[in-house]
């Protein structure tokens, strides 16, 4: 089994920045896709950004140019750099991982973290 642990969440003002990290432990050698999803109050969980071990990316239009995902395959970590944050970015951010690369498109991940809260408000 793979365990995913998120960190880096917090409260910031609009226009601020945060960096989220996801660390995988356990039998992670077969992980290909890693991604970040978020769920705002009263909304469904949605894709933020995802990346394969080969560097292929998929992201939501709402975060393009503001959020950047990166991956350290050796350390099995994924980082989400968030800039120019908006109130609508508020939500619980979840890290996900799967052995199949196409999870970045299907959204079907076998492993999920517990989430970290991101709050953007004045």
**Beta carbons of 92 and 38 less than 8 angstroms apart:** yes
Q: In 10 A of CB 69, how many CB atoms?
A: 22
pLDDT of 21 higher than 90: yes
| Spatial contact of 10 and 121, defined as CB atoms under 8 Å apart | no
pLDDT given for residue 120 in this prediction: 98
Per-residue pLDDT at 76: 84
The predicted-structure confidence for 64-110, as pLDDT tens digits, reads as follows 999 999 999 888 899 999 999 999 999 999 999 999 999 999 999 99
pLDDT band at 28 (very low <50, low <70, confident <90, very high): low
**What's residue 38's pLDDT?**
98
């Amino acid at each position: 089994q793979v365990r995913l642990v998120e960190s880096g969440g917090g409260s910031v003002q609009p226009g601020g920045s945060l960096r989220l990290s996801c660390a995988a432990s356990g039998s992670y050698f077969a992980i290909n896709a890693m991604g970040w999803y978020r769920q705002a109050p009263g909304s469904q969980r949605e894709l933020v950004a995802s990346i394969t071990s080969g560097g292929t990316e998929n992201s939501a239009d709402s975060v393009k140019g503001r959020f950047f995902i990166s991956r350290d395959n050796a350390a099995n970590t994924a980082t989400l750099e968030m800039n120019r944050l908006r109130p609508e970015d508020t939500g619980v951010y979840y890290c996900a991982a799967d052995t199949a690369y196409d999870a970045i498109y299907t959204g079907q991940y076998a492993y999920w973290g517990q989430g970290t809260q991101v709050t953007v408000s004045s």
